[in-house]
Chain A
Amino acid sequence: MKINELTKPWSAFNYGFLDESAKREIRRRTLKAVAIPGYQVPYASRDVPIARGWGTGGLQVTLTLLKPDSVVKVIDQGADDSVNASSIRKFLAKVGGATETSDTTEATIIQSRHRIPEEKLREDQILVLQVPNPEPLRPVQPDMSIAREMHGDADYGQLWLILYEQLVRSGRIMQGSSYPSMVNGRHVMTPSPIPRWDVPKLNQADHLTILSAGREKRIFAVPPHTSVEPLVFDDVPYRVEDHQDKTCYRSGVEGFFMNELPQDDGSSLYELSDSHFGIKSIRKAEGEPVTLGETWYKNGRME
């Protein structure tokens, strides 16, 4: 075998920014992640032109999946128009020729930081979640080698202890985001810092979710139709945020996850966190021909 049989002709730039060996590695790791739902698969995590901690893990997965007819939506805390989300979306369009969109129903790949859209994802859509800390056991076990053994043994008792301590101290579970969740009855994962509101959207979903932590070099996945159960006590049911009765001050829509905007007089206004869902709702109210997708929550409740 000769070296030129193993290489391909020189080119200034590879499609989708990552070189092919990086993509092959992420492909191999992703397949393992899908085969063992919730298990954190180590991967190399190459450099991409944004800083670690700003979505490099999600970006590498999206770049690997990218093809010229991909339609990408990038979300940052529910918004499509933040600097981080816009920059990543433009980068994907530039290096992959992908089409940019803000509409959840049009997207083929949705890369997100800290939210899952309010409109239901279909079985042909892929949700890529950016993960800052992939290890749900870190609060109880800072040594990641020991944490890995604990995952191997399904030794998750201490996670319930944290929740119990929160209950005793505060009267309710204080875990606001990254709520530890049991996947396929075997591995506990952190669903990335999505609010409690979004965790039930992963359970028995139609879409595929891939979670990737670039700085921590871990990739994990939740296939469609897989159980994702937040850790709870039998007598203390899981509670999502109390946003059922909040009304968006811009669109007048009720019953979805809201951003709270403190006002000078001490009161609060609320606006839809899923920004494009809000835009579509306003356009629809103004009589434009906009179709809203089916939503996970109906009247502030999830069946």
Chain B
Amino acid sequence: MTLSILPTAGDIRTNAAFEELMWALARPGLERRLPTAGFRAIAETLIDRECTFHAADDVALSELLMLTGGKPAAIENTDYVFAPLATAEDVAMLSGLRIGTLAYPDEAATLFASARFGAGQALRLIGPGIRGSLTIRIDGVHPSFWRMRASSIHYPLGWDLYVLDGDRLIGIPRSTKIEVL
């Protein structure tokens, strides 16, 4: 019997996207490159009919996420949240993100947001995956977001963050402490 051992184009894309997502969390603050720009690769890599998602007011993204079989849900009980961080109102919407329980801290949300790298607010990151400390710059995020993150995360409770700039990706897990410079 001959086996077809070649991955399909979709398999290659999701495998590569997962590797980037994994290394982004394993090495917080270091830029990784997704195989394609935008949230599409992330959606097909992680989300299926076992998941819930919340895509704020982004109708196009919601339709895309529906195609994975995921179910839209309110922000308070959602696994995967895609949301803008540009204004104070955007940030206030996210104060109810799931942070898990002490017995199951993994039952928490993952937040995906767009921003611009290399300019704007300087952040110093320390924590697992970072040798010493690392300073990054992220623009397009309202200043209140970093305060909101600090007050809602009580490690190991908390949510994990991915920031996207086109096909560039930075992961900031809950274990990372951020100093706003």
Contact = CB atoms under 8 A, between A and B. Distances in A.
Contacts of B48: 21, 24
Contact of A67 (B12, B22, B160): B12
Contacts of B89: none
B67 A15 contact: no
A93 to B, nearest CB: 9
A282 to B, nearest CB: 34
Interface string A33-45: 1111101011000
Interface of A: 1, 5-6, 8, 11-16, 20-21, 23-25, 27-37, 39, 41-42, 64-68, 94-97, 123, 148-149, 151-153, 184, 186-187, 208, 221, 223-227
Contacts of A208: 22-23, 26
Interface residues of B, number: 50
Given A6-B69, A15-B8, A31-B22, A24 B106 contact: no
B113 to A, nearest CB: 16
Contacts of A148: 103-104
Given A68-B6, A149-B103, A226-B128, A35 B160 contact: yes
Interface of B: prevailing SS: loop
A123 B26 CA distance: 10
Interface in B111-130: 127-130
Contacts of A42: 106
A36 B110 contact: no
A224 B27 contact: yes
Contacts of B23: 208
